[in-house]
Copies of this chain bind each other. A is one copy, B any other.
Amino acid sequence: MVEHGTQEHNPVAGPPSERARVRRYHQIAAYDPQVVYDILDAMPLCHVGYVHNGSSFVTPTLQWRDGNRVFWHGSSASRMLKAVLEQDVCLTVSLYDGLVMARSAFSYNINHRSVMIFGRPEKLVDDDKEAQLRVMMDRMVPGQWDRLRPVTSQELKATTVLGMDITEASAKIRTGPPVDAEEDYDFPVWAGVIPVRMQVLPPEPDPRNLPDVTVPDGVAQFSIG
């Protein structure tokens, strides 16, 4: 866990790149790869930013990580997946961990974790593509890939998988109670944190399940947040 207001590390030798360097609240920024990895692993929903026909787009999609690379996938016909092969993108993951209620509106904040990664995605081909789809599945529900109806070559062809090295990245984490201006601590208003978390509920079987199927072991390991 990053201690609030103290940590600033580099993911690679040397300083962060100009665009990856955090400006606002830089005192809570971290460039430590493990901090970046932990946030990516906690939240599969990411937001990919790119330009298409002169307009900025932010497309929500699912990411997964394997070593020092981040991956996402989609239909081979996707506007986003085609566009991002020709430009650098920004992939952002963020989690809302709580409302930080201070004594002044100006000191209100959000406890949060976020990561921004900049880079040029590459399209995976041949065996790499199927291998990473298996990794994606196993990140969600371990062992599930081998339990499913096997993937077909047509399905593989219709699916594009992109990978991007995690070389330009930064993370921000804010935790803990409000930090008010010292003179505001005497102001008579309640201050504190309303924590928020992701909650996984019990699995809901498909009404069309065959009578003898059982919930796979891996489902119990599903976690998010």
Query: Which residue numbers of A lie inside 8 Å of B, CB to CB?
Result: 18-19, 23-24, 43-45, 47-53, 55-60, 62, 74-75, 77-79, 87-92, 94, 96, 99, 101-106, 108, 110, 112, 114, 116, 118, 133, 137, 140-141, 144-145, 147-149, 151-152, 155, 158-159, 177-178, 184-210, 212-216, 219, 222, 224
CB distance B204 to A192 under 8 Å? Answer: yes
Q: A47-B92, A106-B151, A194-B219 are in contact. List 20 more A-B contacts (CB 8 A).
A: A45-B94, A47-B58, A47-B60, A55-B90, A57-B116, A58-B116, A60-B94, A60-B112, A99-B222, A103-B148, A105-B145, A105-B155, A148-B187, A149-B184, A149-B187, A189-B216, A192-B204, A194-B203, A195-B204, A197-B198
CB distance B151 to A94 under 8 Å? Answer: no
Known contacts A191-B206, A192-B205, A209-B191; A103 and B149 CB within 8 A of each other: yes
Which residues of the other chain, B, contact A78 by a CB distance below 8 angstroms? Answer: 23-24
Known contacts A58-B58, A60-B112, A151-B105; A209 and B195 CB within 8 A of each other: no
CB distance A137 to B108 under 8 Å? Answer: yes
Most buried by B among A148, A202, A203: A148
Known contacts A24-B74, A99-B222, A155-B104; A59 and B92 CB within 8 A of each other: yes
Q: List 8 A-B contacts (CB under 8 A).
A: A24-B78, A43-B96, A45-B110, A47-B92, A192-B205, A192-B215, A196-B224, A197-B199
Known contacts A24-B74, A189-B213, A194-B222; A49 and B44 CB within 8 A of each other: no
Q: How many copies does the complex hold?
A: 2
Which residues of the other chain, B, contact A116 by a CB distance below 8 angstroms? Answer: 57-59
Closest to A133 in B: B105
Known contacts A104-B149, A213-B188, A214-B190; A200 and B196 CB within 8 A of each other: yes
Known contacts A74-B24, A148-B103, A186-B210; A114 and B60 CB within 8 A of each other: yes
Which residues of the other chain, B, contact A155 by a CB distance below 8 angstroms? Answer: 104-106
CB distance A208 to B177 under 8 Å? Answer: yes
8 Å CB contact of A56 from B89, B158, B196, B212:
B89
8 Å CB contact of A190 from B108, B202, B215:
B215
